Structure 1
């Protein structure tokens, strides 16, 4: 099923013509649960990994945080299955609307945890993007790759998973690895992405208000200016009119490639390559949520009738990721070389 972002409630360039020159195209990835193969663009799916290339491992440190018990990938999947079964019973009115004795026993066994890793940890597949599915996927200048692969270590380094990026030419991979190693344990269940297929869609974005000039920021706060936009303006935003722009018009929520940066946890800061000092470009946003209550207008039109709030389902969290308690991990790439380190930013 295709997924289509609804038209924005207001043509922001009609109200603020100076923003037209700042428009950027982002690709919303729209991950949804599925059964990807190594030949699909995916989140949390198997990678088209060369059989003769060693699988990446993280050498640490992996120090116990003193609070969370490490769980295996199978532990986490079993817990998710149990909770999905409970949610399904509650939604249908089937009894029992809570844990069965067997489910309770299984969860209690899982909660005892696994040994904290003492050596290298196998990295987890996070995302795989083929340029055929994401035509605007931008590779560094020194590679003709058509495939991006992102993995991470499922332990904090220090406040989020450590990522690794790989650029490849997919036609050159004639023999792929069929059974890659998996980590024995993860620090948090929210670091294991549920396998998802993608339905990419290109949308237009504009800068976060914090990246605009002081004069433009002041104009965005002028509710009288917004009222000239017509019925698409939401008067509920009048006390903080710039939030209308931030939530409804600037950056799309959820997983995306390219586009503008979602600032909020910090003010904007330079993103320059530590090797060559080039300005880095936004590569991929790994999102905890596809939308929030503030950004619900971005819910795809095909899904708006099926995402009514429910205490038993999480339609806005199809990947089941949770990064830094609901934030996003944004990756930036050096335009010059794939060998130069990428940059990670939590926002």
Structure 2
């Protein structure tokens, strides 16, 4: 099934014609539960990885011998989904609660040193043929594969992810690795994605307001304040949901490729290449939710009747405080990437 973004609540270019000069596109990936294969763009699916190539590992020093087993995390999600999907008496039974408590236990892996090679988790793979706004890879590579370490504390910080991007030419993979290595335990269940197929959709997008010219930003702010004042004149239970530039008219939520990064948690930060100092472009956004529980104006037309609390998190991935991870790439594809959490 395709996923279709509804028309925006307002024509933002009619309100602010100058925005036409800043209009861009982004590809919403719309990951949804499914059974992808190695030839598919996917989240949490099997990767087109050569049998004779070492799997990415993390060797940065951090504790890695205590955590939850990935199989337990997947099973817990299955139990909960089935429990809440029941028409009669939805919710876990006493027996299911006991199973959930067992699955939630942390396990210790004996003899694991803090720098032992730890298999990274394959988070996603994107074929350029499927994703119009995916940046070009180096030397004609057509497949981007994304990995991360299933633990935090990298770089000596309290919260530090470790992300690995790999580009390759899919046509050069002859024999696919049948059984990739997997971590015995993970530090955070939000780093374990559920298998999802993608339904890419290219939509219009506009820069984060804080990066627009000051006079244009001021006019947008004044317009939003006027809408808020108008809404306050309604009775509380009758007040319409006032659209905002940030959350309804400019940058869509969810997993997406290309376009503009949102800086709604922090002030905009320069994302310049560490090698050549050139400004970097947004490569990929990994989002904890496909839409929010507020106005939900970005919720696909085909899913208007689905409640956010059960269906807005199909990948089960969580980054930051249920936020988003923005991965940036230099226009010289061989240069290292950078990232920011919002």
Same fold (TM over 0.5): yes
- Per-residue CA shift, 1:188-233, capped at 9, x if unaligned? 1111011000000000101111111221121012239988xxxxx9
What's 2:136 paired with?
139
Query: Contact 1:15 / 1:226 at 8 angstroms: preserved in 2?
Result: no
Distance 2:100 2:242 in 1: 45
Kindly state the Cα deviation for residue 110 of structure 1 after the two structures are TM-superposed.
Answer: 2.9
What's 2:92 paired with?
98
Aligned pair partner of 1:72 in 69, 73, 83: 69
Gaps of 5+ in 1: 228-232
Matches within 5 A, 1:1-347: 1-63=1-63, 70-89=67-86, 92-94=87-89, 97-101=91-95, 103-115=96-108, 117-118=112-113, 119-140=116-137, 142-156=138-152, 157=154, 158=157, 159-223=159-223, 235-236=230-231, 244-294=244-294, 296-305=296-305, 307-308=306-307, 314-338=310-334, 340-347=335-342
| Paired residue secondary structure (1:155) | coil
Query: Contact 1:221 / 1:242 at 8 angstroms: preserved in 2?
Result: no
- Per-residue CA shift, 1:60-100, capped at 9, x if unaligned? 322379xxx610111111211221222123xx1147x4333
- Per-residue CA shift, 1:143-192, capped at 9, x if unaligned? 21111100110111342531110111111111111110001111111110
Gaps of 5+ in 2: 234-240
Judge which range, 116-125 or 273-282, deviates more: 116-125
Kindly state the Cα deviation for residue 135 of structure 1 after the two structures are TM-superposed.
Answer: 2.7
Query: Contact 2:44 / 2:193 at 8 angstroms: preserved in 1?
Result: yes
Task: Give the alignment's TM-score, normalised by structure 1.
Answer: 0.88
Query: Contact 1:160 / 1:324 at 8 angstroms: preserved in 2?
Result: no
Distance 1:259 1:234 in 2: 31
Query: Contact 2:231 / 2:242 at 8 angstroms: preserved in 1?
Result: no
Query: Contact 2:132 / 2:202 at 8 angstroms: preserved in 1?
Result: no
Query: Contact 1:139 / 1:167 at 8 angstroms: preserved in 2?
Result: no
Query: Contact 1:217 / 1:242 at 8 angstroms: preserved in 2?
Result: no
| Paired residue secondary structure (2:8) | coil
Kindly state the Cα deviation for residue 127 of structure 1 after the two structures are TM-superposed.
Answer: 0.8
Change (3 A) 1:224 1:301: closer
Change (3 A) 1:221 1:243: farther
- Per-residue CA shift, 1:101-122, capped at 9, x if unaligned? 3x33333333331126532210
Task: Give the alignment's TM-score, normalised by structure 2.
Answer: 0.89
Q: How many residues align?
A: 328
| Paired residue secondary structure (1:93) | coil
What's 2:238 paired with?
none
Kindly state the Cα deviation for residue 294 of structure 1 after the two structures are TM-superposed.
Answer: 3.8
Distance 1:237 1:80 in 2: 41
Distance 2:12 2:229 in 1: 13
Query: Contact 2:133 / 2:259 at 8 angstroms: preserved in 1?
Result: no
Distance 1:288 1:160 in 2: 17
